[in-house]
Amino acid sequence: MGMHLILLCLMLMKASSTSANGDGDGDSGCPLGSDTYQYSCPEAEAIIFSWVEQAISQDSRMAASLLRLHFHDCFVNARHSLGCDASVLLDDRDDFVGEKSAAPNLNSLRGFEVIDAIKSELELVCPETVSCADILATVARDSVVLSGGPAWEVKMGRKDSISASKEAANNNIPAPNSTVDVLLTKFQNVGLNLQDMVALSGAHTIGKARCSTFSSRLQSSSDSSDVNMQFIQSLQQLCSGEDNTNKVAHLDLATPATFDSQYYVNLLSGEGLLPSDQALVNGNDHTRQIVETYVEDPSAFFDDFRYSMVKMGSLGSSTQIDGQIRRDCRTINLPN
């Protein structure tokens, strides 16, 4: 991106975040770029990385949680844009319903306090400059890197939404019991393809899931040759008892905190935790072939994952109409 366009974009984004009516309306038409904050906030990525590193050192599960925030943000079709616009961070208010109370997010999404801490420091260093949406995209990358996964260049320049859609969050975010056909439809609806779907599912190589999200796996029968009954029985034991609401299992039991291709190895062994994970092997020959490729060549997974993350992170960037740079990621900017 040329210098003149960078400066123009920054001026327009700044103007939209501090417009007279306080709602940040404005169409910047700015493409995402790698040097958006080179002059306006050169410390931005270092500040973000430092907070992510600290958070993961205190809680290794936080890597998956921050990565998941970006996913759940990008898949939601909000009022004026589709994609990565930080709508997932907006709190409910008396006159506003956000996405945090949607079924895929309620009592499930974590890491909001990490985003708050990052935003607070950025507002001190370079006020009203770095968008919350760009923070989400960057913490996702940093979480993967700090867990041993691939690095990629995060394109910057997203704007923060001034709206959210609980309905879209309920409808658009893939459910853990989805079939391959349902998964593919959800991915295609936002502009991603089958290859992206299998590669991005590899994010489940880190993190945990509650028993309620894989309850249908507990009902698997030994009649099927595709079922690993030893694995199923271990899950049944974990999730037994009356109060299993908060019990969690590792998505990847072998290397739970390491971002690697073990997730795909697990699928071929019948040890996919979520039904939507195991479906990639048992429910479709094409997706199974991709899984087998990633098992044989982990570098192919890393290459495809970074490519698909950049692709997903760009969703909505060219169609954002209204937006702002929020001063607080939990609420839209109010008139001064």
73 is in an annotated binding site: yes
Catalytic choice (4, 70, 72, 250): 72
296 is in an annotated binding site: no
CB-CB neighbours of 219 under 10 Å: 8
Q: Which of 254, 218, 267, 270 is nearest to 239 (CA)?
A: 218
- The backbone torsions φ and ψ at residue 33, rounded to the nearest 5 degrees and listed phi first, read -145, 165
Distance CA 71, CA 292 (A): 24
Q: Which of 79, 81, 117 is nearest to 98 (CA)?
A: 79
85 is in an annotated binding site: yes
43 is in an annotated binding site: no
Q: Is 72 a catalytic site residue?
A: yes
The tokens describing 198, both together, are 């299998």
91 is in an annotated binding site: no
Distance CA 55, CA 319 (A): 33
250 is in an annotated binding site: no
DSSP 300-333: HHHHHHHHHHHHHHTTTTTT--S-B--SBTTBPP
Return the C-alpha torsion angle 97, 247, 57, 264, nearest 10.
-90
22 is in an annotated binding site: no
Alpha helices in the chain (DSSP H): 3-17, 44-58, 62-74, 112-125, 132-146, 166-172, 180-189, 194-201, 229-238, 262-268, 275-282, 285-296, 298-313
99 is in an annotated binding site: yes
- The backbone torsions φ and ψ at residue 193, rounded to the nearest 5 degrees and listed phi first, read -110, -175
Q: Which of 334, 330, 336 is nearest to 164 (CA)?
A: 330
Residues in the annotated binding site: 73, 76, 83, 85, 87, 99, 174, 204-205, 252, 255, 260
Annotated binding site for Ca(2+): 73, 76, 83, 85, 87, 99, 205, 252, 255, 260
Annotated binding site for heme b: 204
Residue ranges of the annotated binding site for substrate are 174
Please give the positions annotated as active site.
72
